[in-house]
Structure formats: C-alpha cells, structure tokens
Amino acid sequence: MLVKWALLGLSLGLLRVEAGRGRGSPSTTTPAPPPLPGPVDLTLALDRNASSPEQPFTVTKNASAWGEFGWTSTQTSCSSGQAGTHMQAPYHLNEHGWKVDEVPLERLLVAAVLLDVSAEVAANGSFLLTADHLIAWEKKHGGLPDNSVLLINFGTSAHGGARGASRNPSVTTTATPRTTPLNPGLSQGAAVHLTTLGRVVGVGVDLPALDAVGTPRGRGEPAARALMAENVYALLNLDLSRELPAKGFSLLVLPPKVRGAAVAPVRVVATTRSPSPSRAAAAAVLPSTKMAIGTVLCLYLVQRQS
Ligand SMILES: *[C@@H]1O[C@H](CO)[C@@H](O)[C@H](O)[C@H]1NC(C)=O
Ligand SMILES: *[C@@H]1O[C@H](CO)[C@@H](O)[C@H](O)[C@H]1NC(C)=O
Ligand SMILES: *[C@@H]1O[C@H](CO)[C@@H](O)[C@H](O)[C@H]1NC(C)=O
C-alpha cells in the first residue's frame, strides 16, 4: 500500500511540473512552437515525373483488369534508387557506412528541426549554407536535439519543387521563370560543424544533392562525404512546401528494406507526435504525452486502492 501511494505521489508530481512548464518557464529561449495540424507528408509521388540521372521511374507492366473472380491489378516498375524523394545511406559515399537496410530503426524515428534559407536562395541562386548559418539558428532556437534530422528548406518546392530536377537543378516553372540556374547547397564547413556536434543522424533537403554539385565547391560532394563518413544519411528531393515549425516535431523516415542498397526511395512524414523511446525521446517527449502517462498511472492506482 505504501509503495502504491509513493507512486501516486510521483505521478502527481510529474503533472505539477508539466503544468508549471505550460505556464511558461523563464528558462526557455523561444516559446513552444504550435503543433502541426496533423501528419505532413514530405514525399513527392513516385511517378514518371520523378527523374534521375540514371533510370527515371518507369512502369514496365501495368496489368489491371476485371476477370473471372473480379478486379485484379499488379504493376512492375523500374527505377534508379535516386529517382524522386530518396535516401542516400552512408554507404553511398563511405565504404564502411550503413546500407539502407542497416540504418538502425532509432535513427529513422527521430526529432527534427527546420532551417529555412529560402529567402537567401531567392536572393542568390548559388547560396551556400555555412557553419555560421547553423550557429545563428542554434543561437535563436537552442541547440540541435540529440538523434535528430536537420531539414533545410532551400525554397525549391515553392518554384515547383525538386520534382523533375536533375542533379543540377535549374528549377523553372511557368509561374516563376528563373533566368539563372538555382544551384544552392551545403558547404563542407557546415557538414563538419554538424559531425563535430554529433547530434544529427540525417540531413534532409529539397534538392537532388546535399552539395551544390555542378559548381567547383560541390565537386566530389565534400559536404555529403563529411557527413556520410560519420554514418549520417541524406534525404533528397523532399517536398518542403508545407509550413513546418523550426523545431518541436518528429520525422518518420521509412525507406523500403532493400538489402545492400546505397540509395532507395523513401517516405518521410513530419508529425508532432513524439519519436521512438530512444535516447532522444527522453528529452523530447512532448508535454501532452507525459501528462497522459501521469494521468493513466493515477487512474490505475486509484482503482487499485478502492
Ligand atoms: C507529371 O506532371 C504533370 C505536370 O505537372 C502532371 O500533369 C502529371 O499528372 C504528372 N504525373 C504523371 C504520372 O505524369
Ligand atoms: C495502371 O493503370 C491504371 C488504369 O489505367 C491506372 O489507374 C494506374 O494509375 C496505373 N498504375 C501505374 C503505376 O501506372
Ligand atoms: C552567392 O553565394 C555564393 C556562395 O556563398 C557566393 O560565392 C557568391 O558570391 C554569391 N553571389 C552573390 C551575387 O552574392
């Protein structure tokens, strides 16, 4: 009985702490971001518009018909692993890195943050993200969460998306024609800064490559190489056109479990539900979740008392 009451006290204490935080503690640097209205899909549909440097996505067989027992539909498709929204596993540029099927699950259910440089890219299509931009973001929003994916919005989604873009994205649409090629990217210095911090397990962009490939600084993909040397993966051609908060959300990163693959298509979903109970989750569990756990525990104990 004594033990039960002690547990009840603990759970009530948890509720009090969370309620106190809800009223706004002075220690937080920025106010809590508003929750997402629901899950947000950051994936482009995989269809023949999803081009790639090698083999674009192609449906080679589409057998759909009414038969003796009713409707049956099956397809066979052929595609490069780099078509559309895709993951580059660390093995892509690191012989000893994880392949797609080897990336640990706790690195696929992660906290996420968003750095928006679309205004910088609009002003300069060759914008290069440096370590200073990352440091400025951290000053404003607090440190990058542990076990997280850093999303960088270069603003290409607003120009019709990275859909159809080649590795050198000269993104043009009828709505906003561009005269200069859009070829921004991540600098090697920014990548090294991230690996030094050691908290980011993946970097996601609305570009077909992390580096500004096609420019001298992107030659040999130094930024992607620096990240993959530390087993950090890349998510490319993401659809970042939907508004996301700078922090306080999670990602589900789900590539098919293709054995031995360096690159593969990937489904990426943003949500304000907390990530897996990994090392990140202990720090990142949302207040509402803690509240629910506390409440359930209380109810259970009260029931046992009676
Ligand atoms: C490809 O893009 C065009 C133009 O945006 C669109 O009309 C079409 O539905 C897309 N899908 C396929 C499968 O072609
Ligand atoms: C297969 O054909 C059906 C009927 O034309 C169509 O609705 C469907 O989108 C096709 N699937 C693919 C993958 O092309
Ligand atoms: C655009 O950014 C690149 C990379 O930082 C820089 O080298 C270049 O000078 C900039 N161009 C202009 C016009 O500011």
CATH number at residue 215: 3.50.30.50
Tell me the average pLDDT across 279-286: 46
Closest CA to 202 of 225, 231, 239, 223: 231
Please give the structure tokens belonging to residue 59.
């449906």
239 within a domain of the structure (yes/no): yes
> What does the pLDDT read at residue 182?
78
Given ligand 2 and candidates 47, 58, 61, 62, which is best to mutate, with the most ligand atoms within 8 Å of its CB?
A: 62
Please give the structure tokens belonging to residue 98.
């994880």
> What does the pLDDT read at residue 19?
36
CA of 53 to the centre of ligand 1 (A): 19
CA of 162 to the centre of ligand 3 (A): 21
Tell me the average pLDDT across 9-17: 36
> What does the pLDDT read at residue 64?
95
Tell me the average pLDDT across 218-244: 96
Closest CA to 280 of 131, 104, 157, 118: 104
Closest CA to 154 of 90, 239, 213: 239
In whole angstroms, how far apart are CA 226 and each of 136, 188, 229? 21, 7, 5
> What does the pLDDT read at residue 158?
58
Q: Amino acid letter at 263? A: V
The CB of 132 under 6 Å from ligand 3? The reply is no
Residues 106-127: tens digit of each pLDDT: 999 999 999 999 999 999 999 9
For ligand 3, atom 12, name the residue with the nearest CA.
124
CA of 43 to the centre of ligand 2 (A): 20
Tell me the average pLDDT across 148-156: 96
Per-position DSSP letters for 253-286, written without gaps between them: EE----TT-SEEE-EEEEESS---SSTTHHHH--
CA 263, CA 50: separation in Å to the nearest integer?
15
Helix (H, G, I), strand (E, B), or coil: what is residue 65?
strand
CA of 118 to the centre of ligand 1 (A): 25
CA 183, CA 181: separation in Å to the nearest integer?
6
Closest CA to 242 of 32, 44, 31, 28: 44
Which residue shows structure tokens 């629910």?
292
Closest CA to 133 of 229, 40, 223: 223
> What does the pLDDT read at residue 160?
47
Q: Amino acid letter at 15? A: L
Output the CA torsion 65→71→77→82 (10° steps): 140
Q: How many domains does the chain have?
A: 1
Strands 86-88, 233-236: pairing is: antiparallel
30 within a domain of the structure (yes/no): no
pLDDT of residue 265 exceeding 90: yes
229 within a domain of the structure (yes/no): yes
Residue 76, CB-side half-sphere exposure with 13 Å CA sphere: 3
Q: Residue 200: pLDDT band by 50, 70, 90 thresholds?
A: very high
> What does the pLDDT read at residue 181?
65
pLDDT of residue 83 exceeding 70: yes
- Kindly tell me the number of DSSP H helices and DSSP E strands found in the chain: 7, 13
> What does the pLDDT read at residue 180?
54
Q: Write out the residue range of the structural domain in which residue 56 sits.
A: 40-63+73-158+183-271
Please compute Rg for the chain using Cα positions: 22
Given ligand 3 and candidates 128, 129, 132, 217, which is best to mutate, with the most ligand atoms within 8 Å of its CB?
A: 128
10 within a domain of the structure (yes/no): no
Tell me the average pLDDT across 139-151: 97
219 within a domain of the structure (yes/no): yes
The CB of 49 under 6 Å from ligand 3? The reply is no
When mean pLDDT is compared over 6-15, 53-62, 240-249, 276-285, the highest value belongs to: 240-249
> What does the pLDDT read at residue 33?
67
The pTM assigned to this predicted structure is 0.77
Q: Residue 290: pLDDT band by 50, 70, 90 thresholds?
A: very low
CA 40, CA 268: separation in Å to the nearest integer?
9
pLDDT of residue 244 exceeding 80: yes
107 within a domain of the structure (yes/no): yes
278 within a domain of the structure (yes/no): no
pLDDT of residue 288 exceeding 80: no
Q: Residue 196: pLDDT band by 50, 70, 90 thresholds?
A: very high
145 within a domain of the structure (yes/no): yes
CA 85, CA 92: separation in Å to the nearest integer?
16
Q: Residue 283: pLDDT band by 50, 70, 90 thresholds?
A: very low
Identify whether the C-beta of residue 46 lies closer than 8 Å to the C-beta of residue 208: no
Atom index in ligand 1 nearest the CA of residue 45 equals 11
DSSP label at residue 38: S
CA of 44 to the centre of ligand 3 (A): 29
The residue with greater pLDDT, 198 or 304, is 198
